[in-house]
Each structure stands twice: as structure tokens, then as C-alpha cells.
Homo-oligomer: A and B are copies of this chain.
Amino acid sequence: MEDVARLAGVSKMTVSNVVNNRAGVSEPVRRRVLEAIRRSGYRVNVSARTLKSGRTGVIGLAVPDVEAAYFGHLASHVIAEARRRGFHVAIEESGANAGGEADAVTRSRTLQFDGLILSAVALDRLEEPADAHYPLVMLGEQDFGGRFDHVAMPNEEGTHAATAHLADQGCRRIAIVTGGSLEGVNMVSRRYRGYRAALAERGLDAGPPLLFVLDDMSMEAGRAAAHRLADSGLGVDGVVAVTDTVALGLLRGLADRGLRVPGDVRVAGFDDVPPAAYAVPSLTTVAPDHRWMAAKAVELVVRRIAAPLRPTGRYVAPFQLVVRESSAAG
């Protein structure tokens, strides 16, 4: 900066004013400075600016697993929306466990992200006594008792719609394939509740034999569940999967056992990840409005960065049930 100032024959302060487009710099001086910047290849030092201002202009996005299709999808929307608002996004991987998610918060502050969007799957009790007002927006399904801004998925509503749809297509023995804990309030328990409610309304069986619980929510686990389901002799004719990833594994596992979809079994997923539309058969699924969620989450962090003490809010994403081949009638 000093070099530029010398080259242009002005002070550092004038250079700063030009760089930041501040008023009060005469046109000829401004031009001299810009020329000097160009010639010297000067570039502002973000660290110095950050040190002074206390802001980095970076929003963190912590997701359980960057590899999962769903998160790539989400990330691209968050990046776009943040850019629109003049922020930059840094993606963090938290691992799908409470420790990793708590670490992500700590790391986010250490790295001085101005705020963090945390797609939490495991963290239900987050303790942050030291600095309770770090701008933190929860994205996901758990219950945080109103302590954080929270963009939620339409978990119950979505699964309810998917289950009801399968029933409407003629399914009578509808299983659910899910993972994680059915205790407490989280994605899994909420989706399970939507499934139960839809079956109850129609007087259809629900009970444990139709409940398949996975160790994790991977494609491989979905595939294994399909094998168990096919071998169970339960006469299952419909399956609600807790996520599309699991559903895609299911489709594969049912194919392994020679079961036709939708001929023998109808399947519905949740998320509408891109591969869902291209699977063979294409996958019926609950499609939350990801763009809406991303935009909302970014809006909330940005607002909270500006006003750390404003009251928190909870917002549920709108969704559509996208009906495709995997649940076709007849």
C-alpha cells in the first residue's frame, strides 16, 4: 500500500479511500491511484482488514459429509445466495456425530467465520457458554428449543404425503426403512411419525415388523435393508425410505433379489437429489425446496451477524411430492 501511495504521490490513506470507493477523492487523484495499483500489482491484504474490522466476510457451512449428493446440492445454493449478499462460503465437514458438530462450531469461530450454517444431524444439546451470541443457524431436523435460528425440513408432512401416496396407489403393507434413533425429536423420529400417522388414518398396519432400522444412512445400508426386506416374507408392497440415498440403495437391493419396482414393490424417497430423477426406475420422492432453504439460511445468518440479539425463528421448508416411476400404479 505504501508502494502504491509513493507511486501515485499520495498518502496511504488516500489509497485506502480509493480502494474502498469512499467519497472525497478528487477524480485526477483517484485515477493516479488506480493506475499505480495496476502497475504495482497491489492487492489488499484481507487479514489486515479483518484484523482491523473484526469481520472476514466468510460464512461457514458445516455439513456431515461432503460426499453425500444432498449436501453438494445444498452447498451450491448456499454459495450462490451468499455471493449475492457479498459473503463467501467455506465448506466444512463435520462427520455425522455430535463431537464433530461441536468441533465445527469451535473451528468456525477460531477461523473467524462471521457466522455458521450448521447442518446438524447428531447434535441435540449444544453448549456454548463462553460466547452465546455467535451467529449460528441450524439447518435440519432436530429440536433446539428455540435457542437458534432454525430452517427445518417438512419431515412429518413430507413422509406423511409419501406414505399416503403409496397407500393411494394400492399398497397395503408399507414398510419404512430408516436409520438412527427414534427417540427424541430428530429427523428420523419426525419422519417416522409422519409415516405412522398416514398409516393410522387409513387403518393400515404399521408395527415394528415393518420398521427396518439401519446402522447408517448410506446406499449400502439401503441395499442391505432391501435384502432383509425381500427375505422377510412380510409381503411388503410399499417402502418409504428415510432419504433418497437410502432409497437408491433399496432400488439396487430389490433388483438384486429380482423384485420389480413398481410391479412388486413401490418405493418413495425423501430429498429429491439429482440422481433420483435418473434412476431406473426413476424415484418418487419428497422434494423440499432446497433453494428456499439455502436462501433462508443465508438470510438468517446475515441478519444475525448484523443483529446478534434479535429473537430466533423456526422456518419449515415448503415441499412437493414428485411422483415418478417407482410408485406408478398397476
Contacts and interface: CB of A to CB of B under 8 A. Distances in A.
Contact of A66 (B48, B75, B131, B219): B75
Contact of A130 (B41, B46, B278, B281): B41
Number of chain A interface residues as a range:
35 or more
B274 A219 contact: yes
A112 B67 CA distance: 26
B45 A48 contact: no
Contact of A110 (B46, B66, B110, B112): B46
Contacts of A44: 110
Interface string A269-287: 0000011011111100000
Interface stretch (A1-9, A87-95, A117-125, A177-185): A87-95
Contact of A45 (B51, B91, B274, B282): B51
Contact of A79 (B76, B93, B223, B279): B93
A130 to B, nearest CB: 4
A249 interface: yes
Contacts of A320: none
A67 B72 CA distance: 4
Nearest to A249: B278
Contact of A252 (B110, B111, B255, B280): B280
19 contacts: A41-B131, A43-B109, A45-B51, A47-B47, A48-B51, A66-B75, A66-B91, A69-B69, A71-B72, A79-B93, A88-B111, A90-B90, A91-B91, A251-B278, A252-B279, A252-B280, A275-B275, A279-B279, A280-B280
